[in-house]
Amino acid sequence: MSPVAQHHEIRSGADVLDVSPVIPVVVVESAEQAVPLAQALLRGGIPVIEITLRSEAGLAAIEAVANEVEGMVVGAGTVLTPEQVGQVRDAGAQFIVTPGSPPRLLEAAVGSGLPLLAGAGTLTEMLTLAEAGLTAMKFFPAEASGGRAYLSSVAGPCPHLRFCPTGGVTPENARDYLALPNVGCVGGSWLTPKDAVAQGDWARIESLAAQAASLRSA
């Protein structure tokens, strides 16, 4: 485990953007998969993971990684309700990711005290988050919402906002996103293919993580 991976202080969403060029967006079907999966990512040089609540095992997986994988920054993704905000905080999540930012959810997430990457797909949503004091956010769904061209245009009127584009980001286009001045990192599911997770092919995930860790903005 590298010493660098052990000392990421995550106090805000902006800090989350600076941990790694890629945040793996992960769905696990059993909590038992979570720890070896996170360890494989860490060995590959990716010290951050977003475990989504898209499966029944999500909360238990967050708790397992938070407790057992030293040096891994673990976040909770696909947080949709105020109730889930409390659940992921109790499970040990170090940051929260939401696909959108309706008022009650945003209030609960901000009120939790956890760093937040709230989802925004339009300028109005981005400015609404900025009004709430958030300058780092998730751009989602990235490709469907206009992709790199949209984010490049946003940088003009809103140079103070920074993003983690997620949704349709691939190894082929990730570097183009990372080259934008307002992109801190990207989110992607390609680091943890469903079949590799199901088969426990941690070596493959480590290799994909190493390739992702080498992605840097131009």
Q: How many CA within 13 A on the CB side of residue 159?
A: 1
76 contacts 50 by C-beta, under 8 angstroms: yes
- The alpha carbon dihedral of 96, 100, 101, 103 has a sign of negative
CA-to-CA distance for 83 and 96, rounded, in angstroms? 13
CB atoms under 10 Å from CB of 37, counted, come to: 26
> What is residue 72's three-state secondary structure?
coil
133-147: burial string, b at 16+ Cβ within 10 Å, e else: ebbbbbbbbbbebbb
| Beta strand residue intervals within 65-153, DSSP E | 73-77, 95-97, 116-117, 119-120, 136-139
Question: Could you give the residue numbers annotated as active site?
Answer: 50, 138
